[in-house]
Structure 1
């Protein structure tokens, strides 16, 4: 949908940022039910349907680096496009989402 102009980040880059304790926000844009079944440690959950209403409260600093993810990368692309429209400058969609994360055997909690 927004693939051509949505900034992407790979699962390897996300894992590296976590390991290096970079100052990032991990944003899970799946449903609360999906989130409760396994998430990347330290992530926050705002489902894609609620991004416009809730992101400004959850992350008031629009210059903060945000890595959004979902199961496959589709919803996170939509969420990133929405956040860019309301002024977030450093937002990225994790390419291939948790499907790729799991295939790399990276941890979930």
Structure 2
């Protein structure tokens, strides 16, 4: 009788314990899953819209390049700042002045920018967007690219 009672109690505890649901985030997804996928579902901004916003004083925008310093030095969206995605969590304080601005993140093709946007979202930033197509699409559309002077190839002597 004790064995049957123990088995019933164990079965009931397992059923109740397994029926508990994890805290949910937006759209009913578990909170941890919602946080990890924010960057994948962040609003997209087109290259055309980004160019317009960069010249709109009424809508301050920070362009965040989350690629490596070497990729950034080879060319980037004009006016972008570089904080590699794997350093963002420890360098997020550098963006303190951008809390009231829209931050548009990009990388080469999207994965690192999605991770960075998730990091920023978890740090309390609210106005976040992802450059549609990232830097590959920016280049393919022949958008302006800024190359820091130290990264430009030296001109041969006597040519100006």
Contact 1:72 1:95 in 2 (8 A): no
Find 1:91's aligned residue among 115, 128, 136: 128
C-alpha distance in structure 2 between counterparts of 1:26 and 1:95, whole Å: 13
Contact 2:40 2:114 in 1 (8 A): no
Q: Does 1:60 align with 2:96?
A: yes
Shift of 1:73: 1.8
C-alpha distance in structure 2 between counterparts of 1:100 and 1:66, whole Å: 18
C-alpha distance in structure 2 between counterparts of 1:11 and 1:90, whole Å: 17
Find 1:25's aligned residue among 47, 50, 62: 62
Whichever of the two has the greater Rg, that structure is: 2
TM-score (norm 2): 0.62
Looking at both structures, which has the greater relative contact order when contacts are Cα pairs under 8 Å and sequence separation is at least 6? 1
Count of residue correspondences: 108
Shift of 1:80: 0.6
Stretches of structure 2 lacking an aligned partner (at least 5 in a row) = 1-35, 147-160
4+ residue runs of structure 1 moved beyond 6 angstroms?
none
C-alpha distance in structure 1 between counterparts of 2:40 and 2:145, whole Å: 29
Stretches of structure 1 lacking an aligned partner (at least 5 in a row) = none
Greater percentage in strand: 1
Instruction: Tell me how large the CA RMSD over aligned residues is.
Output: 1.7
Shift of 1:79: 0.5
C-alpha distance in structure 2 between counterparts of 1:86 and 1:103, whole Å: 32
Could you say if the C-alpha distance between residues 84 and 108 of structure 1 is closer, same or farther in structure 2, counting changes exceeding 3 Å? same
Greater percentage in helix: 2
